[in-house]
Structure 1
Amino acid sequence: MSKQITIIGAGLVGSLLAALLGKRGYQVNVYERRADIRNANISAGKSINMACSTRGWKALDLVGAGDKVRKAAIAMNGRMMHGIDESLTFQPYGKENEAIYSISRAGLNQILIDHADEYENVNFQFEHKCIDIDLDRTIASFELNDNETKYVESDLIFGTDGAFSAVRSVMQKLKHFNFSQEYISHDYKELSIEAKNGEFQMEKHALHIWPRGSHMLIALPNPDGSFTCTLFLPYEGENSFEKLNNESEIEAFFKSKFPDAFKLIPNLIELFNENPTSPLVIIKCFPWSYKGKVTLIGDASHGIVPFYGQGMNAGFEDVSILNELMDQHGDNWIELFQEFENSRKPDADAIADLALKNFIEMRDLVGQEWFLKRKKIERALYETFPERFIPQYSMVSFTNTPYSEAVRKGNQQDLILDELVNKEDILDIIERGDFKSFVETNHMIPN
């Protein structure tokens, strides 16, 4: 049995994996380049709130941390669209009681580190910057604060150190290692809407979106009554971060594009200038493992943009799948890692593509009349034929359907929706209660 396991990266996936491996009896050492987040003064500016959904809860419950996280999370039952005229339109995500859950990245990370730390066989070491890996001898080299170098030998190394993984940078030098890094044309900046007298200033149980074509603002609720907001703008060109260089330009932009949000952020200029502008990157690579000794999981192997709320959920699902494969393969890590990467890679690519597609939906489409009509039809199909028609968003967020299968089924559904949305009186048919017979008579959904 491989007893000594090194995890590099104590972020969300690394700390969850540490809890799983600790629970399974392995001796686990987790190394993190940052200081202990539990003791640090968390600076705002680089965190998009997490949206936990079914895949995430499955993994959290697997390690016994689900209930701890639920106490710190807020249900979001749908999208609340904010028009330029300050009008509000609500779109439910799924059926009643189907919700995604807002939680701060830092808060969740603290919970998971604490949870994993409860195991005597799990040890966290902070301020250890990984500078090299000897892949064949499974020796990790770390630079400490005093410039001393520390060498750690173990049986297995997991790289859970994010999109700019030090572990992956070593693997990239291997023959036949495929790697791509794509920055999208948009950057992001964190802002916040504070509570007023301890109360939420907008609907608490919604993900708020200000869709504006080439750009958008979103806001997710926090337990203290505040909202973590994220502004997504092109980094250059018209309506871009490049153009917002002084107080008057920033104010004029927000007043014209997000008038209701502008009224709720009195410290807008301060936040805008203090918080960094950060890029958004898509990472794809393969293979994810080396000789059953070293493997990448989470963003280190498949970094995606945040527009489907699935980056964390996909990383957590990696941990669930690893757990199932450990049950099947025991300590045959070569076979285990090969099956993991071969089965998981198509799903990782699928959610990367879906996340980019959802960005276009969120910023361009959600406020358009034809799109709202399409969503009403989709909802009617889901409610009328719950066993035969599950919308793609619901498959991704509220089931454990493989992402690649959700893409395949979603493409089939698009054909059905395209046909129905072009029928002028379809909303009247739904209103009259004739929808079920209409769909069945026209054989629009396969049995």
Structure 2
Amino acid sequence: MSNAIPQSTENGNNLQSRAPLKIAIIGGGLVGSLAALSFARRGHEVHLYEYREDIRTAELVQGRSINLALSQRGRKALAEVGLEQEVLATAIPMRGRMLHDIKGNRTVVLYDPCTNQCLYSVGRKYLNEVLLNAGEKFPNIQRHFEHKLNYVNLTHGRMEFKRAPNKEIVEANADLVVGCDGAFSTMRQQLVKTPGVNYSQEYIEHGYLELCIPAKNGEFQMPENYLHIWPRDAFMMIALPNQDKSFTVTLSMPFKVFDTIRTNEELLNFFHKYYADAVPLIGEERLLKDFFKMPPQHLVSVKCHPYHYGDKALILGDAAHAMVPYYGQGLNAGMEDCTLLMSLFDQPNLSTAEILEQFTELRWRDAHAVCDLAMYNYVEVRK
């Protein structure tokens, strides 16, 4: 057990309602860094393990930086750790979809014409940095970058990591191990080996590539307060606004269509046929460079049940319920996991085992439903 100091909310209410635990969080991405912050605010001793280097000093990897559409459920989770207004201050509101047809005509479909609720475009790297920086204020969070989880003993909370760059083996233990290590989770791999754990995954036939519509003369080239969509039935393109006045563009197509585009001429012919209005926005030179820079990436949908093992282990976010990104709820669902989990930890009459069991029971049906909705929307949004 840890002797971590109690933490309090901004209004002075003590969040520590139980004896502090030593908690290991596997994965320092968005859900992991949020979970670390949430546990630390409740006085627990938190060890955050991340296999990558510190993202705050690392170069952003192209093709892995899909923007995030922050919704109310994500905002609520950020509000509970005091970060909602900081994030919204630089986020760009998206009031609805702007649909681009093949002739270049644009149609606006508002999300909420009655009360004007909207989504917010947020950069993945920026949000991760905000969460990590907030955690720096808590002496009961210890960060361990470049630690890749090799193995975890779920019964005893023992872990083995390989630490870069010399591949040194590091052993650790915790009262509770929380896996926030993404769609290809090592924690989940261990969990599904235990009796009674159901697991399924489905790769979709579409891959994605990231492109960019740069700013022009320091301004957006399209109206910024919309999620832009070029639906083309079998494939599509979307664009989300960035703070630097550019748009992050995601091209999604069946791999068999990607495979037909091998030369510069084939690419330009394809874009002039299906995305003619986007070509002058992206620029032919940049389009050729970005398209052929790396191969299209795969997308997977994951379902799992239960999410916990006894009182020792739990998985959250994409580790528990990865979904295709076309519903815009992957991040929001992961952040909502933290909201639900903390609400249970704030009930002092519940044991850790009861908390984890109730989390699974309260969460798995909703998570499966969102995965299904995301898969359905992946078809619907292309039409």
TM bucket normalised to smaller: over 0.9
Report SS of the residue matched to 1:187: strand
One-letter code aligned to 2:319: A
One-letter code aligned to 1:186: H
One-letter code aligned to 1:304: M
Q: Separation in 1 of the partners of 2:323 and 2:348? A: 29
Q: Answer 1 or 2: which has greater helix percent.
A: 1
Tell me, yes or no, if structure 1 residue 88 matches structure 2 residue 106: yes
Aligned equivalent of 1:363: 382
Structure 1 stretch displaced more, 1-10 or 189-198 = 1-10
One-letter code aligned to 1:338: E
**Structure 1 length normalisation: TM-score?**
0.79
Aligned equivalent of 2:25: 7
CA contact (8 A) 2:48 2:141 kept: yes
Aligned equivalent of 2:59: 41
Tell me, yes or no, if structure 1 residue 325 matches structure 2 residue 344: yes
Q: Deviations over 1:373-396 (max 9, x none)?
A: xxxxxxxxxxxxxxxxxxxxxxxx
Report SS of the residue matched to 1:167: helix
Task: Specify which of 153, 171, 194 is matched with residue 134 of structure 1.
Answer: 153
One-letter code aligned to 1:62: E
Q: Separation in 2 of the partners of 1:212 and 1:306? A: 17
Aligned length: 361
* Shift in Å, 1:3: 2.2
One-letter code aligned to 1:234: P
Structure 1 stretch displaced more, 104-113 or 326-335 = 326-335
Considering only aligned residues, what root-mean-square deviation do their CA atoms show, in Å?
Answer: 1.1
Aligned equivalent of 1:156: 176
Task: Specify which of 314, 320, 325 is matched with residue 295 of structure 1.
Answer: 314
Aligned equivalent of 2:195: 175
Q: Deviations over 1:309-350 (max 9, x none)?
A: 100000000000011111225561111111100110000011
1:233-312 correspondence to structure 2 within 5 Å: 233-236=253-256, 240-266=257-283, 267-312=286-331
Aligned equivalent of 2:47: 29
Tell me, yes or no, if structure 1 residue 118 matches structure 2 residue 146: no
Aligned equivalent of 1:108: 127
Aligned equivalent of 1:223: 243
Aligned equivalent of 1:396: none
Q: Answer 1 or 2: which has greater strand percent.
A: 2
1:42-57 correspondence to structure 2 within 5 Å: 42-57=60-75
Aligned equivalent of 2:220: 200
Q: Separation in 2 of the partners of 1:197 and 1:330? A: 60
* Shift in Å, 1:292: 1.0
**Structure 2 length normalisation: TM-score?**
0.92
Larger gyration radius, structure 1 or structure 2: 1
* Shift in Å, 1:253: 0.7
One-letter code aligned to 2:189: S
Q: Separation in 2 of the partners of 1:313 and 1:89? A: 27
What residue ranges of structure 2 are gaps of 5+ in the alignment?
A: 1-18
Q: Deviations over 1:239-296 (max 9, x none)?
A: x111111111111111100111111112001000114411110001111111110000
Structure 1 vs Structure 2: percent identity of aligned residues?
Answer: 43
Q: Separation in 1 of the partners of 2:316 and 2:56? A: 23
Q: Separation in 2 of the partners of 1:74 and 1:332? A: 41
Task: Specify which of 18, 22, 36 is matched with residue 18 of structure 1.
Answer: 36
Q: Separation in 1 of the partners of 2:327 and 2:228? A: 14
One-letter code aligned to 2:90: A
Moved over 6 A (4+): none
CA contact (8 A) 1:143 1:149 kept: yes
CA contact (8 A) 1:80 1:209 kept: yes
Q: Separation in 2 of the partners of 1:148 and 1:165? A: 21
* Shift in Å, 1:96: 4.2
What residue ranges of structure 1 are gaps of 5+ in the alignment?
A: 365-447
CA contact (8 A) 1:234 1:241 kept: yes
One-letter code aligned to 1:204: E
